[in-house]
Structure 1
Amino acid sequence: MWHAYCRWAAGQGIESERFRRRWAGGGADKVWPDGWLADVSALAERRGSAPATVAALTGFEQGTVERPVTASRGCHALTRALAVGVLPAGRKGSAWVRWARELAALTHGDAGAQSATAAAVVLVGHCLHGASVLQALAAGTEAVEAARDVAGGLVARLAGAREDAERQPADPARLALLAPDATAEAVLLGGVYVAASFSGRADVGAALRFAAGAPHGEGVGCVAGALLGAAHGTDVLPTGLVSRLELAWVLDVLARDLVAELTESPGGSEYTDAKDPLWLTRYPGW
């Protein structure tokens, strides 16, 4: 994951030559950054600021839970991690909470941001595997609590966000209180509140419109959309919105290839030959 972040940074023009020397070893004949995503020009465009991520990457030392490289509480580590909720889907064990915290810690050192990221990954996994949105959110919260590896009070606040949705669903004032800023915990609580307020298959469009009204609507909408999309499937995403996404085809290819990696092992393994000889060229795992 750290190497993948470095590939992204180089594509953005951030310390490109330093990263090349680090990863290509100075070899003039070595193509780096590698992998097909490096050729997607839309991913090289600047679309906003990510100061904590850039600070961590330009420091050339990946952060860990024990040795953070930033003190950021921001939501970028969380929103980037939502997709990996497919990994713990249907599986038990506190190891996933720790793993997700370590993923966030690569760039974000605040314990609360790491805990929120871990909780978000587990919640998405339960939505992929759960019987309903509300049941999945409740079971996911219990799994986070059982792991005992999150910052104090987060589990209670997650439960409180669900209860708020039962008592006062779709209340803009309540959403603003739960998610007043762009911190990881705020967008998580806001996303849970939105998903619990609009839990039906036919409500996803309304959920995204409501989420956009939060003080940091992008983050809240990202979390709510991930939870609801995981629970109901891609068919419930509003076609009008998806068709306007510049990177929709990239996301679709990545999603399908992730499922293929988890179910078919197209790149092979120590014991099996690769079904797709170009798989590790597309996704170099180093």
Structure 2
Amino acid sequence: MTKVTAEQLATARGCVLGLMLGDAMGATGGTVPASGPLRATSAGQLACFTMDGLIRAHVRHRHRGICHPPSVVWESYRSWAAIQGIPGFTVDHGGHSPAGWLAKVPALAERRGSAPATVAALQRRKMGTVDEPNGTSTGAHALTRTLPVGLYPCDPAEMAALTHAGDAVGAAGLAGAVIRLLAGDHGLVEALESVASEPGQWSEAAERSLAPALAAARSGAASAHELARLAPDARAVSALAGGVYTTACFPGRETVREALLFAASAGDGGHAATVAGALLGAAHGPDALPVDWLSRLELAWTADTLARDLVTELHDSPSGGEYFPPTDPHWRTRYPG
């Protein structure tokens, strides 16, 4: 019998599907085509591999008693680079062949825009840490690809620092804290206000991006001008500010469609929409997401499977462990740890 509750499953599925839907909406710039698939960008692809790494890290901990989750997530990113055909990575990169089911999803092997800071960090072959980040980029991928880490018992900032630095690391930690509160049954605005009131936990600029976004939302109706001011570029702090402003202006489950279209118009490369989608999905669950868009979402099945499997691994450990047998004999083939 599963230990997973309906609420836990709804939060995880909503967060991950909202993230992927926001990623796809952001790529449209707010003008959604009338038909055809809604495709992921490299940010959405990397978010999938973040979840793959988290699940594999937990499997490893269960069977070996010790694990460093950022190291396992790093290997998952290397698998992404290998199946993408990025120079310096092969299907057998240094004896670490891409394994598990995720590396076999065709859409994840297609180039969907660049992720230069992530690729450069992977090519340097040195994992960054919060104290010694890898490179100097403060780009939005540090935030968007690590949003699901808020569902897992570790620090999203550590995952962001693998490839990015500075305010981007702080923004990832802050967004993860909001998602963790949403998973703990806090309301959306309550979670945002709570994190904003905790000084000193994240970088100063990341903290500054949250407070102005909430203040702007309190001051009046959603404004495209205000959104453009808060999210002027493709930095992580811009994505965070734009995403938070959107969710604070459109906090209800009945306005998710309007919120995603609004965030996608920010002009920041679509990243604010990714953040807004993850936050709104985590707050309201997958049933609040527009069904007509979800039915066209290219990686909907992939993302939903990862969300379900992440929650299942955390609470049920289907691969077993040192003191209990597996309930799924194929789990470690899907997620080798």
By the TM > 0.5 criterion, same fold?
A: yes
Residues 277 and 193 (structure 1 numbering): CA distance in 2 closer, same or farther, change over 3 Å?
A: same
Query: 1:52 is aligned with what amino acid?
Result: A
Match of 2:145 among 80, 84, 103: 80
* Offset from partner CA, 1:207-266 (integer Å, 9 cap, x none): 001111101252000001111110000001111111111111100110111111111111
Aligned mates of 1:149, 1:165 — CA distance in 2:
23
Residues 271 and 140 (structure 1 numbering): CA distance in 2 closer, same or farther, change over 3 Å?
A: farther
Counterparts in 2 of 1:15-34, with a 5 A limit?
15=87, 20-24=92-96, 32-34=97-99
The reply on whether 1:273 has 2:325 as its aligned counterpart is yes
Q: Structure 2: where are the runs of 5+ without partners?
A: 1-72
User: Which gives a bigger RCO, structure 1 or 2 (Cα 8 Å, sep 6+)?
Assistant: 2
1:61 aligned residue: 126
The 10-residue stretch of structure 1 (65-74 or 11-20) with the greater mean CA deviation from structure 2:
11-20
Aligned mates of 2:336, 2:142 — CA distance in 1:
22
1:29 aligned residue: none
Aligned mates of 1:172, 1:2 — CA distance in 2:
37
Residues 19 and 112 (structure 1 numbering): CA distance in 2 closer, same or farther, change over 3 Å?
A: farther
1:194 aligned residue: 246
The reply on whether 1:14 has 2:14 as its aligned counterpart is no
Contact 1:123/1:140 (CA < 8 Å) preserved in 2? Answer: yes
Question: Offset of 1:127 from its aligned partner?
Answer: 2.1
Residues 268 and 15 (structure 1 numbering): CA distance in 2 closer, same or farther, change over 3 Å?
A: farther
Aligned mates of 1:259, 1:279 — CA distance in 2:
14
Aligned mates of 1:33, 1:153 — CA distance in 2:
37
Question: Offset of 1:19 from its aligned partner?
Answer: 6.6
Over the aligned positions, Cα root-mean-square deviation in angstroms equals: 1.7
1:210 aligned residue: 262
1:169 aligned residue: 221
Contact 1:75/1:113 (CA < 8 Å) preserved in 2? Answer: yes
Aligned mates of 2:80, 2:112 — CA distance in 1:
13
Matched residue SS, 1:127: helix
Counterparts in 2 of 1:38-49, with a 5 A limit?
38-49=103-114
Query: 1:53 is aligned with what amino acid?
Result: T
Question: Offset of 1:37 from its aligned partner?
Answer: 0.7
Question: Offset of 1:73 from its aligned partner?
Answer: 0.8
Query: 2:231 is aligned with what amino acid?
Result: A
Aligned mates of 2:148, 2:320 — CA distance in 1:
23
Q: What is the TM-score normalised by the length of structure 2?
A: 0.75
Contact 1:127/1:137 (CA < 8 Å) preserved in 2? Answer: no
Match of 1:151 among 200, 203, 215: 203
Question: Offset of 1:156 from its aligned partner?
Answer: 4.1
1:219 aligned residue: 271
Match of 1:138 among 182, 193, 199: 193
Contact 2:128/2:163 (CA < 8 Å) preserved in 1? Answer: yes
Residues 217 and 236 (structure 1 numbering): CA distance in 2 closer, same or farther, change over 3 Å?
A: farther
Residues 21 and 198 (structure 1 numbering): CA distance in 2 closer, same or farther, change over 3 Å?
A: closer
Matched residue SS, 2:234: coil
Q: Give the length in aligned residue pairs.
A: 265
Residues 154 and 60 (structure 1 numbering): CA distance in 2 closer, same or farther, change over 3 Å?
A: closer
Residues 124 and 17 (structure 1 numbering): CA distance in 2 closer, same or farther, change over 3 Å?
A: closer
Aligned mates of 1:133, 1:238 — CA distance in 2:
19
Q: What is the TM-score normalised by the length of structure 1?
A: 0.88
Match of 2:156 among 91, 100, 121: 100
The reply on whether 1:257 has 2:313 as its aligned counterpart is no
Aligned mates of 1:180, 1:17 — CA distance in 2:
34
2:32 aligned residue: none
Contact 1:267/1:276 (CA < 8 Å) preserved in 2? Answer: yes
Match of 2:334 among 275, 282, 285: 282
Question: Offset of 1:281 from its aligned partner?
Answer: 1.0
Q: Percent identity?
A: 49
Aligned mates of 2:232, 2:185 — CA distance in 1:
29
The reply on whether 1:239 has 2:291 as its aligned counterpart is yes
Contact 1:129/1:231 (CA < 8 Å) preserved in 2? Answer: no
The reply on whether 1:70 has 2:143 as its aligned counterpart is no
